[in-house]
Amino acid sequence: MFLTPLLRVLLVIFLLGAGGCATGPVPVNPYFEMPPERLPKAELALYNRALEQLKNNQVENSIDLWNRFLQNNPRSFRAYNNLGMALYSNDQLVPAIKAFETALALEPFDGKIKGNLKRALKFQATILRENRDYGVAIEHLEKVKKLTDLAEKEKVALEIETLQDLIYEQVKQVNTLEAYEEFLGKYPDNPKNSDEARRLIAQLRPQESPLAEFPEMQSEMLPEPAQRTTEPMQEAFVPEPMQSVPTLPPVRKESIEIVAETKQPDEEAEIQEPVMREEVPPEPPVMEKPKMTEPLAEPVVVDPDMEMKREKPAPPVQEPVPTKRARITTKNAPLRVRAKPDILSPIVAQIPKNRIVPVYQEVKGWFQIEYQEGKKGWISKKYSRLVN
């Protein structure tokens, strides 16, 4: 029975599909076998020799040859990729990752280099996870996430979240404010543990007083009681020394001297009493006591005069009455009023043009005027003139 042409075509397609499924995907060659263009013969022979050593699993010799080749060709991304594969085969993951990263920096869009770098980073992250160095493992997986497509990024993100959960378990065992803050600073977007870390930080953080949150209010409130306490102290303290200080010292000195004088005759009387009991009556010492008390009244007579002299109010000082007036004659700008008749003296006020002010004194080149009620200053005669 002969097959029709259509059935023959369908049969061929079926056989080709079955053969493709049986063989499976073709593995990608991780090496760059094609050397760079325009190489000298010596460099070309060195490149082929290093690649041959790598394929024959003579890794250490291949690493030496690739380093020699890169000394003369530092811009060859092919050589850096092949050197990374040699280091990766020799279990030197850290230098292998550096070699792949250098190759990718020279050729950013090459898929072969990206695949080799991702494989080395994943292998290193696995080793770090086994050693419980979760933080560095997350850093490697973040690099892998940047190199992968959108379809694979979700899988890498789940691996990163798993490692973050393991780190949070370690933080919970420590259970300190610093540990929670450090975790939240590194991983603020962790969907499972970030909110709980914020809540625990709020509980462990010491509560501040209401005034500490508003330092402006605290600074405004503190001076008021200080002023209230000092003002009455000054009011109560100032008049007291004026009344008591001048009168008390002389009275105390005289009274002390009088007491000392009275003690001496008492002792002499007590010593003479046993000898003179029969002849001398006890009346003379009694009569001497009122005589000794008379000096106590002497300082009292002097003190009122002193107080009357001190308490007499001093005559009020009459302020000089202005006898002249001056007009400001500047062009447009106001005239500056200074604290002293000196051009370097600080400025205390400014008077507008054509304003008339009272003059109290005249010094060489300066008028003393009253620019505000009770406040005086000096203006230059150059920009002012006296008026009637």
User: Where residue 371 sits, what CATH number does that domain have?
Assistant: 2.30.30.40
Confirm if 350 and 318 have CB atoms less than 8 A apart. no
**144 class by beta-carbon count within 10 Å (0-12 exposed, 13-18 middle, 19+ buried):** buried
The pTM of this model reads: 0.49
5 part of a folded domain:
no
Question: Which residue segment(s) compose the domain that 122 sits in?
Answer: 41-202
In one letter, which amino acid is 86? A
pLDDT exceeds cutoff 60 at 267: no
Query: What letter would DSSP give residue 188?
Result: T
66 part of a folded domain:
yes
Residues 214, 218: Cα–Cα separation, whole Å:
7
Longest CA pairwise span in the chain (Å): 187
Axis-axis angle for helices 150-174, 177-186 (nearest 10): 170
| pLDDT on residue 17 | 56
* pLDDT (tens digit per residue) in 195-222: 888 888 888 888 765 555 455 555 544 5
Spatial neighbors of 81 by CB under 8 A, at least 6 apart, are 30, 31, 32, 99, 100, 103, 112, 113, 116
131 part of a folded domain:
yes
Map residue 375 onto helix, strand or coil. Answer: strand
If asked whether residues 58 and 197 sit together in one domain, one would say yes
* pLDDT (tens digit per residue) in 37-61: 889 999 999 999 999 999 999 999 9
Domain end (from 202, 220, 249): 202
pLDDT exceeds cutoff 90 at 251: no
Domain end (from 202, 228, 257): 202
pLDDT exceeds cutoff 60 at 235: no
225 part of a folded domain:
no
379 part of a folded domain:
yes
When mean pLDDT is compared across 11-20, 55-64, 70-79, 94-103, the lowest value belongs to: 11-20
Kindly state the tokens that stand for 26: 């073709």
More confident residue, 63 or 300: 63
If asked whether residues 196 and 345 sit together in one domain, one would say no
If asked whether residues 196 and 329 sit together in one domain, one would say no
Confirm if 324 and 358 have CB atoms less than 8 A apart. yes
**139 class by beta-carbon count within 10 Å (0-12 exposed, 13-18 middle, 19+ buried):** middle
* pLDDT (tens digit per residue) in 103-119: 999 999 999 999 999 99
If asked whether residues 331 and 192 sit together in one domain, one would say no
Residue with tokens 């000794």: 292
| pLDDT on residue 192 | 83
Spatial neighbors of 57 by CB under 8 A, at least 6 apart, are 89
Total domains in the chain come to: 2
Q: Express as a percent the part of the chain with pLDDT over 90.
A: 40
* pLDDT (tens digit per residue) in 140-181: 999 999 999 888 899 999 999 999 999 999 999 998 999 999
316 part of a folded domain:
no
Here the CATH number for the domain that contains residue 152 is 1.25.40.10
| pLDDT on residue 4 | 64
* pLDDT (tens digit per residue) in 324-362: 889 998 888 888 899 999 888 899 898 988 889 999 888
Kindly state the tokens that stand for 257: 């001297």
256 part of a folded domain:
no
138 part of a folded domain:
yes
Cα distances (angstroms) measured from residue 291 to each of 189, 227, 261, 264, 265:
102, 55, 12, 15, 12
Q: For the chain, what is the radius of gyration of the CA atoms? A: 54
| pLDDT on residue 145 | 93
In one letter, which amino acid is 16? L
Band of pLDDT at residue 323, cut at 50, 70 and 90: confident
| pLDDT on residue 139 | 95
Domain end (from 145, 176, 202): 202
DSSP-H helix ranges across 56-110: 59-72, 77-89, 93-106
